[in-house]
Amino acid sequence: MQLANKVAVITGGASGIGLAITQLFASNGAHVHVLELNENVTIDSEADVQIHQCNVADQTQVNQVLESIIKQHEIDILVNNAGIAHVGKIENTNEEDMDRLYNVNIKGVFNCIKGSLASLKKTKGVILNMASIASSIGIPDRFAYSMTKGAVLTMTYSVAKDYLADGIRCNCISPARVHTPFVDGFIAQNYPGQEKEMFEKLSKSQPIGRMGQPSEIAELAMFLCSDKAGFITGTDYPIDGGFIKLSN
């Protein structure tokens, strides 16, 4: 029970990597509050999980939800996991694409940190942001996505530096390709009839020869948010099957 009685807020915590984090945190004793855009989602958990409908890009909504949580109990952990993707170079990325990704991937992180900060100061809490390997290396056809995840990385460094004296730790995780329902949907939509071949190709793009599993990201997230990581702040953790260092 590494997170016994900790209060955790997880954005995008009802699917993919976020769901794995939610379930692992809850099973390790945390009281989990999930912020989700879709109000009809459900989470299979016997532990303490509450779902709040919230668009992280809307600061008013975020503040209202966080205030309702803080009225019950102060926040110990904030996991900024919610994010959206985009495929394209700068020449086929339009203004609407840029605004959409900025609003969720950057402004959403800003909104949730800003709205949680007073509570996190009281608990000397932890912030964990979901960055990406695209934060630190060039990925083809991911211009807008890489831009936003680069911002998440540098926000992590800034927040970690600014709140050292308040006892707040802030780190980020940078996954490579992880096998989630989003990946399956992307392959089915873009490569109909070639799903098996494309899955194998994408899997082998990681030097280790496979995609990551959401549970593997969740285990790293739990460690970084637990007291066991009390000496760690201002650090990015690639979890990438060797992609950054070992890719040719």
Q: Are 142 and 86 in contact (CB under 8 A)?
A: yes
Alpha carbons 124 and 62: distance in angstroms, whole number? 21
Amino acid 119: pLDDT: 98
What are the pLDDT digits (tens) for 92-112? 999 999 999 999 999 999 999
Residue range 163-176: mean pLDDT, rounded: 98
Rounded CA separation 147/56 (Å): 18
Is there a domain that residue 1 lies in? no
Residues 143 and 55 in one domain: yes
Average per-residue pLDDT for the chain: 95
Query: What CA–CA distance (Å, rounded) separates 20 from 80?
Result: 14
Task: Tell me if 194 is assigned to some domain.
Answer: yes
Identify whether residues 124 and 188 lie together within a single domain: no
Residues 200 and 83 occupy one common structural domain: no
Distance in angstroms (rounded) separating the CA atoms of residues 156 and 154: 5
C-alpha 84/C-alpha 73 separation (Å) is 30
5-23 pLDDT, tens digit per residue, is: 999 999 999 999 999 999 9
Q: What is the pLDDT of residue 248?
A: 67
DSSP string, 208-236: TSS-B-HHHHHHHHHHHHSGGGTT--S-E
Is there a contact between 83 and 11 (Cβ–Cβ < 8 Å)?
no
Cα(179)–Cα(199) distance, integer angstroms: 9
- Section 219-243 average pLDDT: 97
- 1 pLDDT above the threshold of 90: no
Q: What is the pLDDT of residue 50?
A: 95
For the chain, what is the domain count? 2
Q: Is residue 142 part of a domain?
A: yes
Same domain, 101 and 194: no
Which pLDDT band, with edges at 50, 70 and 90, does 203 fall under? very high
Which of 248 and 85 is assigned the larger pLDDT? Answer: 85
Same domain, 157 and 205: no
- Residues 24, 42, single domain; the answer is yes
CB atoms inside a 10 Å sphere around CB 39: 9
Are 101 and 200 found together in one domain? no
In a domain, 135, yes or no: yes
Residue 2 covered by a domain? no
- Higher-scoring residue by pLDDT: 42, 160: 160
Within-domain flag for 186: yes
Report the share of the chain in percent with pLDDT over 90.
89
Range of the domain at 204: 179-211
Query: According to the model, what pLDDT value does residue 167 have?
Result: 98
Q: What single-letter DSSP state applies at residue 90?
A: G
Looking at the fold, whether 39 and 117 belong to one and the same domain comes out as: yes
Distance CA 27, CA 10 (A): 14
Digit-coded pLDDT (tens) for 117-140: 999 999 999 999 999 999 999 999
**Mean of the pLDDT values across residues 223-227?**
98
163 and 122 both lie in a single domain: yes
Q: With contact defined as beta carbons under 8 Å apart, do 25 and 81 qualify?
A: no
Instruction: Confirm whether 239 is domain-assigned.
Output: yes
Active-site residue, from 145, 157, 163, 191: 145
Q: State the pLDDT at residue 190.
A: 80
145 tagged catalytic: yes
